[in-house]
Structure 1
Amino acid sequence: MRMLLKARLDTDKGNELIESGRMGDVLNSIIQQLQPEAAYFHPERGRRCCLLVFDLADPSQIPPTAEPFFTQMGAELEMTPVMNLEDVQRGMAALKG
């Protein structure tokens, strides 16, 4: 299932990761694990934020997906099922018949 992961990083933990030079390694590890189809980074309400769109094959993947954000970044995390245009079109076609 295509998921949108939104992580708002704790500023102090983010600062520690940047100052120690580990932020790039942590992000690269997450990107390698999730293989997102899209990854965006932006400020939100004064915090570092990232948006990742990735495939969640099974709900049992939620803990290993979420833990690096919690433990290493102190992040607030949201995961929401999302659709692309093709998914919406298939869903709408199913309503017709």
Structure 2
Amino acid sequence: MRMLLNVKFPHAEFNLAVKDGSVGKKMDRILDELKPEAVYFTEQQGQRSALLLIDLADPSKIPALAEPWFLIFNATVELRVVMTPEDLKQAGLEVLGRKWSS
């Protein structure tokens, strides 16, 4: 199951890691562990943020996705299940539409 991991970094903790030179090492450590399919860094509502696409085979691994961000950066983490266009085609929307439209 693909998950979109939305990480929002608090200014104080992230600024400290930038100032002491540890931000790259910390980020590399987390990304090497999680092995995301894709990572994008952006801004959301004035906060530094990261969006990661992760293939999650086992829901019991969700804490392993979130805890590094919580513990290292005191970040806010949101998880969303996402689908590719191929996944959506396999969802059977037409069948569901017929079933639930009457």
Question: Structure 1-normalised TM-score?
Answer: 0.89
Residue type of the partner of 2:52? L
Structure 1 residues not aligned, in runs of 5+: none
Cα drift, residue 20 of structure 1: 1.6
**CA–CA distance in structure 2, aligned partners of residues 13 and 35 of structure 1:** 23
Cα drift, residue 94 of structure 1: 7.9
SS at match of 1:80: strand
- The number of residue pairs the alignment matches comes to 96
In structure 1, what is the equivalent of residue 78 of structure 2? 78
Cα drift, residue 93 of structure 1: 7.0
**Distance verdict in 2 for CA 1:93–1:30, change over 3 Å:** same
Pick the structure with greater CA Rg.
Answer: 2
**CA–CA distance in structure 2, aligned partners of residues 25 and 95 of structure 1:** 49
Question: Structure 2-normalised TM-score?
Answer: 0.85
Structure 2 residues not aligned, in runs of 5+: 97-102
Residue type of the partner of 1:38? A
**CA–CA distance in structure 1, aligned partners of residues 39 and 59 of structure 2:** 21
**C-alpha RMSD of matched pairs (Å):** 1.7
Overall identity of the aligned pairs, in %? 39
